[in-house]
Amino acid sequence: MIRRWGQIRNMNQRKEMSRWVKVIVFSLVFYFLNSPAEGARIKDITAIEGVRENSLIGYGLIIGLNGTGDKSGTVFTLQTLTNMLNKMGILVDPTTVKVKNVAAVVVTAKLPPFNRPGSRIDVSVSSLGDATSLQGGTLLMTPLRGPDQEIYAVAQGPVSIGGFIGGKEGDTVQKNHPTAGRVPDGATVEKEVKLDLGEREELTLMLKQQDFTTAMKVSQVINAGLNDSFSSAVDSDTILLKVPDSYKGRIVELLAAIESLDVPVDVTAKVVVNERTGTIVMGDQVRISDIGISHGNLIIRVKTDFQVSQPASFGPSNSKTVVVPKQKTTVTEEEARMTVMKGGATIGEVVNALNAIGVTPRDLIAILQAMKAAGALQAELEIL
């Protein structure tokens, strides 16, 4: 009897263990099937309020050009060059100055956050006058100012234009834009923009692309990573994050802990069309309703032949040779092809179906516009 009871108990344990194994396997399968296949890091889809670049601008001179600078009629270049020489103790007559080796330029730069005095940043230069090329030039010392007119950096150095222009008059060869260029690490930061994160009790994260669903998911992922409800979605653009007590005074560690978390990003169904280039970009959320599409081309071709009518050898002296154009017009209409698309079709199915009836990118643009007008395209259509 005792032996029989032991066999029954072992049998029940094996059944219970088998049941739990099935539950675990089903849970794992369900998790992997329903977990998002793709995600984006929080650092890639959000920005911290107040932590941003600042635009700088300045006016300067580029010298050392090989006769490709501003012409003598460019008054502001003459004035700038004369003033600079006067400040150096060299008195010159503005009417005798030639500026063909000098060009006036506007210098722009972006000052990243947290940059300290002594840091180096890249600058861009663009011709302000009628110079034809900045090739081989050197930018003279140029103060760069912010919107408050304070000087935050000073730029100077050789200009790289990434192109060239050669030849004279009508026989020229040009690559890229020789009147704009860059000075890598050409500016030295002289003044920093004050930004202190250490004493903040809350942070505001802003989505780079507004979306209510994504904002909610970002908040949920942050709360799961911090094991408490420290963040909340305020609207489609803003997530408010309260600094936990354990991270007070350690904002950098808090941001490092959450910025690498993956968030499934939800995007709006959109079709972007550039009619000038025939470019079409569609997201994977684009869907269509039941619709039938007929596509065919009408080709009208006009051909002109020139026939020459010459006078007879012994004809009147006032006879002339006459050129008579003869035109021939042909009209060809391709057989229209009809295709039917079922509702709920994905973007891949849409493209395959339209390729099957032989549409070109420009034909596809017209079809998409007609589908949107008919209410069958369940997506936003943006035409550039």
Counting the structural domains of the chain, the total is: 3
More confident residue, 283 or 332: 283
* Best CA proximity match to 270, nearest among 146, 384, 361: 384
Q: How confident is the model at residue 276 (pLDDT cuts 50, 70, 90)?
A: confident
Cβ count near 269 (within 10 Å): 15
pLDDT for res 119: 94
The average pLDDT across 133-160 equals 93
| In the predicted structure, residue 15 carries a pLDDT above the cut 90 | no
pLDDT of 76 higher than 60: yes
Shared domain check, 180 and 108: yes
Mean pLDDT check: name the lowest of 89-93, 296-300, 340-344: 296-300
Residues 209, 137 share a domain = no
Does residue 36 lie in a domain region?
A: no
Residue 297, pLDDT score: 59
Write the pLDDT tens digit of every residue in 256-274.
Answer: 889 888 998 887 788 888 8
User: Integer distance in angstroms from the first to the last C-alpha of the chain?
Assistant: 86
Nearest 5°: phi and psi at 246? -70, -15
Task: Answer yes or no: is pLDDT of 301 > 80.
Answer: no
Mean pLDDT for the stretch of residues 37-64: 87
Q: pTM, whole model, 2 decimals?
A: 0.64
Q: Which of these, 282, 304, 249, lies nearest to 372 by C-alpha position?
A: 282
Both 153 and 231 in one domain: the answer is no
Residues 257 and 332 in one domain: no
Q: Are residues 122 and 148 in the same domain?
A: yes
Could you tell me the residue range of the domain that residue 240 belongs to?
Answer: 202-263
286 and 346 assigned to the same domain: yes
Is residue 46 domain-resident? no
In a domain, 61, yes or no: yes
Q: Express each pLDDT in 96-117 by its tens digit.
A: 777 889 999 999 999 998 889 9
Residue 175 lies in a domain: yes
- Characterize the bridge pairing of strands 202-207 and 279-282: unpaired
pLDDT tens-digit map of 329-383: 665 555 555 555 565 566 667 667 666 666 777 777 777 787 788 777 778 888 8
Residue 196 resides in a domain: no
Please tell me the distance from the alpha carbon of residue 352 to that of residue 339, in angstroms, as a whole number. 11
**Residue 314, CA atoms < 13 Å, CB-side half-sphere:** 0
- Long-range contacts for 212-217 (Cβ within 8 Å, ≥24 apart)? 212/236, 213/266, 214/45, 214/263, 214/265, 214/266, 215/239, 217/263, 217/264, 217/265, 217/266
The answer as to whether 11 is a domain residue is no
Domain end among 245, 263, 281: 263
The answer to whether 215 and 239 are in contact (CB under 8 A) is yes
Once rounded to an integer, what is the mean pLDDT over residues 315-340? Answer: 61
Quote the mean pLDDT of the chain.
Answer: 78
Do 184 and 103 share a structural domain?
Answer: yes
pLDDT band with cut points at 50, 70 and 90 for residue 23: very low
User: What is the per-residue pLDDT across 131-143, written as a single tens digit (0 to 9) for each?
Assistant: 888 988 999 999 9
The reply to whether 180 falls in a domain is yes
pLDDT of residue 161: 87
Whether 48 maps to a domain, the answer reads no
* Cα 272 to Cα 281: distance, rounded to the nearest angstrom: 5
Residue 333, strand partner residues: 298
